[in-house]
Amino acid sequence: MMRALQRFSPKLGAMGRACVALLAAGLAAGGARGEGVAAKTDPVAAYEVRVETADVAGGRQTRLVFTLNACVAPQAYVLDQPARAVVDLPEVKFLIDPSHGDPARDAPRRRHHARGASHASSPAPDPALSYRFGRLSAGKSRIIVDLPGPSDFSASCVQDEGQTKGQKDGVATLTLAIKPTDAAAFHAAAHAGADRQAQDARDATGAIAPPAQELPRAQDATRLDAKPLIVLDPGHGGVDAGARGGDAVEKTVVLDFAKALAEPLRASGRYRVAFTREDDTFVPLQERVRIARKLGAALFVSLHADSLRGASAKVHGATVYTVSERASDSEAARVAESENQADALAGVEAREQAGEVNDILFDLTRRETRAYSNVFAKYLSERWKIAATLNKNPRRFAGFVVLKAPDVPSVLMELGYLSSSEDSAELNSPQWREKAAAQAALAIDDFFKNRPQGASQGTYQGASSAPAGLTPANLAQPREP
Question: What does the pLDDT read at residue 161?
Answer: 67
Each residue's pLDDT tens digit, 251-261: 999 999 999 99
CATH of 219-475, one of 3.40.50.920, 1.10.1840.10, 3.40.630.40, 3.90.550.10: 3.40.630.40
Domain extent listing, the chain: 2-40, 44-203, 219-475
Q: Which residues of 233-270 are buried (b: 16+ CB within 10 A; e: fewer)?
A: bbbbbbbbbbbbbeebbbbbbbbbbbbbbbebbeeeee
Contact of 20 with 9, CB cutoff 8 Å: yes
Q: Helix 360-387 to helix 430-449 angle, to the nearest 10 degrees?
A: 140
Question: What does the pLDDT read at residue 306?
Answer: 94
Q: In what order do the strands lie in the sheet with 84-90?
A: 75-79, 84-90, 140-146, 131-137
Contact of 275 with 231, CB cutoff 8 Å: yes
Q: What is the pTM of this model?
A: 0.75
Picking from 57, 462, 431, the residue whose alpha carbon sits closest to that of residue 260 is 431
Within the chain, which residues score under 50 in pLDDT?
1-39, 106-126, 165-166, 205-218, 220, 454, 456-457, 459-477, 479-481
Dist CA 48 CA 33 (whole Å): 32
Question: What does the pLDDT read at residue 55?
Answer: 81
Architecture of 44-203 per CATH? Sandwich (2.60)
Alpha helices in 112-212 (DSSP H): 183-203
For residue 416, is it left (φ>0), alpha (ψ between -120 and 50) or beta?
A: left
Q: What's the CA dihedral at 175, 179, 181, 187 to 10 degrees? A: 40
Dist CA 458 CA 356 (whole Å): 20
Question: What does the pLDDT read at residue 343?
Answer: 81
Dist CA 237 CA 410 (whole Å): 20
Dist CA 295 CA 298 (whole Å): 9
Question: What does the pLDDT read at residue 452?
Answer: 62
Q: Helix 250-268 to helix 430-449 angle, to the nearest 10 degrees?
A: 50
Question: What does the pLDDT read at residue 177?
Answer: 95
Question: What does the pLDDT read at residue 103?
Answer: 65
For residue 116, is it left (φ>0), alpha (ψ between -120 and 50) or beta?
A: left
Question: What does the pLDDT read at residue 349?
Answer: 64
Question: What does the pLDDT read at residue 54?
Answer: 84
